């Protein structure tokens, strides 16, 4: 397994250049699946697992790695396929999403490929597993399906979106009802979470499922004569997306005189410390790790107050 991940350290040089590395693997059949290498901590042969009482049906147990207990998820079962039965040939892909570590039980691990984001395409709507895919690509004439891990994790451990707006300033509330935000994310689960969180404010949410679509929407607004930085309270964008990632999207916006003053927040499950550096490099205004509803809500409230010239208490809600 060490050989498979030998190139992992190089991945940080790709992010921000509209490039990525994918780890390809199989589940029950010869079909290839993939996860972005940047989310992966390690790949290993299946170790001994301990039973987890009252666990979710897709959880096959827990293992202990480097002093922490890690939940092991049967990925095949989690995306609607028959459960993968653990064997000596099984592997674990240990990942970090949204500041938590988990492991996925998979079959054979194939290899790492280096690609451009514009080679990554949205899944066809006719695909049976499209509900659990963020994208597809083609490698040596074979289709590779890229799994929406955020959706898998949200179904196993649902996010609780509880926002107390009782003490929210009425001026903020009224101003929010006039505000518009563009949300760009290839995960329908992530978009739904943001919409539900900001729904407490009554903000109008526009959506795009990748960076290129988001940029086209912004340019269409500008072409129609709209003052986009004033029309939109902010752009909330994921980092990893088909066709164009969030870093390239930000660069394109900053290079367009009509869009360059738009407030941009990077909202991603990638490493927090790394993204803080990328925020400065590409010119985002803020960064927020997924998925933290109160922090997102507070960020938007602070932005509304800034635009409206209102004071915001330390605890906004």
Check the CA dihedral 65-69-74-78 and report its sign: negative
Alpha-carbon distances of 303 from 112, 258, 285, 316, rounded to whole Å: 40, 20, 11, 11
Quote the tokens at residue 123. Answer: 């899944």
User: Contact, 32 vs 107, CB < 8 A?
Assistant: no
Q: What is the DSSP letter of 287?
A: E
Report helix, strand or coil for 246.
Answer: helix
Alpha-carbon distances of 228 from 113, 139, 235, rounded to whole Å: 38, 39, 10
Quote the tokens at residue 8. Answer: 């992992």
Task: Specify the pLDDT at position 9.
Answer: 45
Task: Specify the pLDDT at position 115.
Answer: 87
User: Contact, 35 vs 73, CB < 8 A?
Assistant: no
CA-based nearest residue to 179, from 147, 197, 206: 206
Say if residue 80 is exposed, middle or buried (CB neighbours under 10 Å; 0-12, 13-18, 19+). exposed
User: Contact, 293 vs 61, CB < 8 A?
Assistant: no
Task: Specify the pLDDT at position 271.
Answer: 56
Q: What is the DSSP letter of 82?
A: P
Contacts of 225 (CB under 8 A, 6+ apart): none
Report helix, strand or coil for 277.
Answer: helix
From first to last of its 317 residues, what are the pLDDT tens digits of the chain? 545 555 444 555 555 567 788 999 999 888 999 998 878 888 999 888 888 777 889 999 999 888 888 999 999 999 999 999 988 889 999 988 877 889 999 998 988 998 888 888 888 766 555 578 888 999 998 999 999 888 898 888 876 667 777 778 888 889 999 999 999 998 888 898 899 889 888 999 999 988 999 999 999 999 999 999 999 999 999 988 888 888 889 999 999 999 999 999 988 876 555 556 666 777 889 888 887 888 889 899 999 999 988 876 565 54
Alpha helices by DSSP H, 44-101: 75-78
pTM above 0.85, yes or no: no
User: Contact, 249 vs 221, CB < 8 A?
Assistant: no
């Amino acid at each position: 397994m060490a050989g498979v991940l030998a190139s992992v350290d190089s991945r940080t040089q790709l992010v921000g250049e509209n490039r990525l590395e994918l780890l390809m693997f199989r589940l029950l059949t010869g079909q290839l699946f993939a996860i972005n290498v940047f989310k992966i901590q390690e790949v290993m042969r299946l170790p001994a697992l301990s039973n987890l009482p009252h666990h979710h049906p897709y959880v096959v147990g827990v293992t202990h790695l480097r002093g922490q207990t890690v939940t092991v998820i049967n990925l095949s079962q989690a995306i609607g396929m028959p459960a993968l039965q653990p064997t000596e040939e099984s592997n674990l892909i240990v990942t970090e999403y949204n500041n938590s570590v988990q492991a996925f039980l998979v079959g054979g691990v194939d290899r790492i490929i280096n690609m451009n984001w514009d080679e990554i395409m949205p899944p066809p709507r006719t695909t049976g597993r499209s509900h659990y895919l963020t994208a597809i690509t083609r490698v040596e004439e074979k289709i590779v399906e890229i799994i929406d891990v955020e959706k898998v994790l949200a179904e196993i451990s649902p996010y609780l979106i509880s926002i107390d707006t009782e003490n929210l300033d009425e001026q903020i509330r009224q101003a929010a009802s006039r505000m518009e935000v563009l949300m760009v994310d290839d995960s329908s689960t992530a978009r739904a979470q943001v919409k539900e969180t900001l729904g407490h404010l009554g903000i109008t949410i526009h959506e795009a499922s990748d960076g290129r679509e988001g940029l086209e929407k912004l340019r269409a607004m500008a072409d129609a004569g709209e003052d986009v930085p004033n029309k939109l309270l902010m752009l909330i964008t994921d980092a990893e997306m088909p066709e164009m990632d969030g870093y390239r999207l930000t660069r394109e916006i900053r290079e367009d005189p009509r869009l360059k003053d738009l407030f941009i927040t990077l909202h991603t499950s990638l490493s927090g410390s790394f993204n803080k550096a990328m925020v400065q490099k590409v010119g985002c205004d803020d960064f927020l790790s997924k998925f933290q509803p109160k922090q997102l809500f507070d960020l938007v409230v602070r932005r509304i107050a800034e635009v409206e010239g209102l004071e915001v208490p330390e605890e906004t809600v």
